[in-house]
Structure 1
Amino acid sequence: MVESVKTLAALRRHIASLEGVPASQPHARVETGHAAIDQALDGGLARGRVHEFFAAVEEAAAGAGLALILARLAAVDAPLLWLRTVAAGRAGGMPYGPGLAALGVDPERLVIGVMADDGMLLRAAVDALRCPALGGLVVELRGSAPLLDLTASRRLALAAEASGVTAFMLRVGGDPAPSAADTRWRVAAAPSLPVPGNGPGMCAFDLSLLRRRAGRDGLGWRLVWDNGRGMFEESGGGRDERHDLGQSGREQDGRRQNGGGRDRQAPLSGAVVSVSAGRPAADRAA
């Protein structure tokens, strides 16, 4: 019965795309479970849109982890597609099954497409977004990615709106530029709180909203992924960590992206999501 409902929903999206009717409605949102973020976004991330996430090279694992979590929330039980280049695979490595499971991503529902270069990657992304049966799409681009200009970005956005598929563009080591993305974010790994028994805590992220097409931006949060509940929480047991970055904060954030002025220890490299260097030594030795 569940599979029939999913098939019917995909069929409706496909019919809407053939008729030229946008499959995503203005009220359709991907709820994160993080009350402050969902409230700031009028209910969550807009479905059938493109969302950009920028991460420094040393934060690539955290960026990939967050993008996969959000894509899984958008897809529910539908398939996920992660598109990346051969060079990205060499630089960042391949995903680790138990690490994916810790993010709530079923490896059996994740398809990874490896492309020769950025041009092939962007063409494949447009084709993927035209498939209404797809649950969510993650597109990983590294460096400046000059082929992702405003025209290419609009092409992706139009395809996402037509099919209702939500796309998450992971920009590793890139700088924000004009695009048709609905939202633009900066993501980095954050120290996690240890669990009882001094074990490693849940995945934590520092997330900054750099730009939003229709709404306030310049906000930042620290959020924790609760895999057991399948949702994000505020850091520190429900404390709202929102703060207004302001112009100076955004400038400092940009300098940190370029490798300078870091105000915290770099996270240690881990499988899919970085492990923060801020954890106690006993955690790292475990």
Structure 2
Amino acid sequence: MHAINAWRGDASPRAKTLAALRLALAKIEARREGGFRAASLERSERFSLGAAEVDAALGGGLKRAGLHEVLAPRGGDWSAAAGFGLALALRAAPGRPLLWARQDFLDGETGRLNGVGLAEFGADPAGLSLVRGRDAEAVLRAGVEAARCKGLGAALIEIFGAPRALDLTATLRLARLAESSGVTLFLLRICAGEATRAPPSAAVSRWRARPQNSRALLANAPGAPRFFVTLLRHRGGAADCSWRLEWQRDRGFFRETAETYNAALSGSVPAFPADGAVAFPPGWRRAG
């Protein structure tokens, strides 16, 4: 995992960090010319999630050259939003370089990205560039640079709350750059309870993600990551639909998990609380 240090308020460090980012992206672009070019030309306009019901609701999948939003309504939901966004990025750009831009204070609030954890999730840490910015403006600048790099497969742009810099104009710029370059962009937002009142955006789709309990493996080992996701908006398609999805790391796709619940219960079974003291049923454990 290649990390680029956060730039600060004064011009010199900011310029150096931006130059370092552009150099890293230039190297990725050079690799594309040397080996990624054929793969990029073969990519279709849409990418599926792998879960038949979800893909059908999406009309076959999500737009690849576009901007998508994943919202965490609470701080405790961040891991689910980040995991779901990363899984989408892996679906959109399998085997291709990724970039993750985030505000630096989130390392202390939600935890640092971990190379071992990324590998366990199915991502190649060596193919991920991490950029830390002091504020939303810095992260958005990194996102703009990433959106221009045709050598990237996808980029995740992580923002806390609803800063003034993240307005409709900013998302429209990102969306247009994604359409031009073919890079898939994922805007990860921790909305602190305001997910349903998120401001207007040019994103093709908007999702809300919450953690779901995984089913433990043998010896009580952690099971596959699970998410309770709601499609809040999808341009020209379905909206206000919810699914429980499990990320199949080894196969690289999602599958629906409704069949793993008690068959006597209806399809509207609520998710177990992720941030409270609960008595999990036998064989269940919290997944993060």
- Do residues 42 (structure 1) and 50 (structure 2) align? no
- Runs of 4+ in structure 1 deviating by more than 3 angstroms, as ranges, are 2-5, 236-239, 241-244, 276-284
The residue matched to 1:67 in structure 2 has which SS?
helix
Distance in 2 of aligned mates of 1:157 and 1:71? 16
Q: Following TM superposition, by how much is the alpha carbon of 1:191 offset from its aligned partner in structure 2, in angstroms?
A: 1.0
Partner in structure 1 of residue 163 of structure 2: 145
Residue correspondence of structure 1 range 1-286 to structure 2 within 5 A? 6-10=36-40, 28-55=45-72, 56-173=74-191, 175=194, 176-236=198-258, 264-267=272-275, 278=280
TM-score, normalised to structure 1, is 0.77
The residue matched to 2:242 in structure 1 has which SS?
strand
Q: Structure 2: state its 5+ residue gaps.
A: 1-31
Distance in 2 of aligned mates of 1:282 and 1:212? 32
Q: Deviations over 1:78-135 (max 9, x none)?
A: 1100000112222112112221112111111111001121111112211110111101
State the number of aligned residues: 246
Matched to 2:120, the amino acid is A
Identity, % of aligned positions: 39
Aligned-CA RMSD value? 3.1
Distance change in 2, residues 1:194/1:159 (3 Å)? same
Distance change in 2, residues 1:3/1:120 (3 Å)? closer
Distance change in 2, residues 1:118/1:242 (3 Å)? farther
Asked if structure 2 preserves the Cα contact closer than 8 Å seen for 1:191 and 1:277, the reply is: no
Matched to 2:37, the amino acid is T
Q: Deviations over 1:34-83 (max 9, x none)?
A: 11111111111110111101102111111111111111221111110000
Q: Following TM superposition, by how much is the alpha carbon of 1:236 offset from its aligned partner in structure 2, in angstroms?
A: 4.6
TM-score, normalised to structure 2, is 0.76
Asked if structure 2 preserves the Cα contact closer than 8 Å seen for 1:191 and 1:204, the reply is: yes
Asked if structure 2 preserves the Cα contact closer than 8 Å seen for 1:266 and 1:277, the reply is: no
The residue matched to 2:105 in structure 1 has which SS?
helix
The residue matched to 2:216 in structure 1 has which SS?
coil
Q: Structure 1: state its 5+ residue gaps.
A: 14-23, 245-261, 269-275
Distance change in 2, residues 1:158/1:283 (3 Å)? closer
Asked if structure 2 preserves the Cα contact closer than 8 Å seen for 1:83 and 1:139, the reply is: yes
